[in-house]
Structure 1
Amino acid sequence: MARVKSLHIKKGDVVRVLAGRDRGVEGKVISVDTTRSRVFVEGANRVKRHTKVVQASGRQGTTGGIVTQEASIPVSNVTLLVEVEGKKVPTRVGYERREVEKTRADGTTYTGYRNVRIATKTGEEI
């Protein structure tokens, strides 16, 4: 069984590609593969897949053809972007434990802690 790593990039983050043929492309992360440490970025590393015609019962058969879709990129080849004064700036990710109010099932509240991602460039929560 492969070890699942925790990555600093999450689904929905805006990133910039640092290496490869799509270097400089900015896009949103579609999905993250933690077992292989790879991410799928919208508009980057697009490849063509040839699909076969599938004959299914009824009208459910898929038509064949060439489909263009995103392939994965190593997570080390992307950097997170944050908005600073209307510009997208690359940043690293830090973590901080913040005190929060939590509520129990019976309605009582208590103070607890939770980890939040911090943009090291700005110090703000991502």
Structure 2
Amino acid sequence: MAKSNGKSLSIKKGDTVKVIAGRDKGAEGKVIGVLREEQRVIVEGVNRIQRHTKVVNQGGRAGNTGGIITAEAPIHVSNVMLVEGGDVTRVGFRREDVTKRRPDGSTYAAQRSVRISRTTGKDI
């Protein structure tokens, strides 16, 4: 397994992305999974592969019938760009001051990270 560099990814589950490199270049789809350790995302309808599965009879009704299964394979996060407002954009981060509340009722100042669009500067 690949080693994580500790950084979070700028693409999240549910985002709409456009593929900018590879066999499916130009395709758009919704992110259905994020593999942070491998720095890969699974995009709906992109990078589809076929798996040939055997018939497994053990397990009663839980056994699989076998055949050819088509599924999405992960694609590296550097090969996709976030789509916002019909166009692709790079993702930036801005630190925002917020006040948080402790369980005992007292408050304290903290910061949180907010994703922003590099083209428009608006929150995503």
| Normalised TM-score (structure 1) | 0.87
- SS for the counterpart of 1:59 is helix
Residues matched between the structures, number = 122
- Letter paired with 1:79: M
- Match 1:47 to one of 46, 49, 67: 49
1:101 aligns with one of 95, 99, 109? 99
Structure 1 CA distance, aligned partners of 2:73 and 2:59? 31
Write out per-residue CA displacement over residues 1-42 of structure 1, whole angstroms, 9 at most, x where no aligned residue.
Answer: 743242221211110001122111101111122222221110
Which letter does structure 1 place at the counterpart of 2:44? E
TM-score, normalised on structure 2? 0.89
Please name the residue that 1:65 is paired with. Answer: 67
The residue correspondences of 1:1-126 to structure 2 (distance < 5 A) are: 2-5=2-5, 6-83=8-85, 88-126=86-124
Q: Is the 8 A contact 2:3 2:38 kept in 1?
A: no
Instruction: Provide structure 2 residue ranges, at least 5 long, that are not aligned to the other structure.
Output: none
Q: CA RMSD in A?
A: 1.5
Question: What is the one-letter code of the residue matched to 1:64?
Answer: G
- Identity percentage of aligned residues: 57
Between the aligned partners of 1:91 and 1:60, the Cα distance in structure 2 is: 44
Check 1:77–1:2 CA distance in 2 against 1; reply closer, same or farther (3 A cut). closer
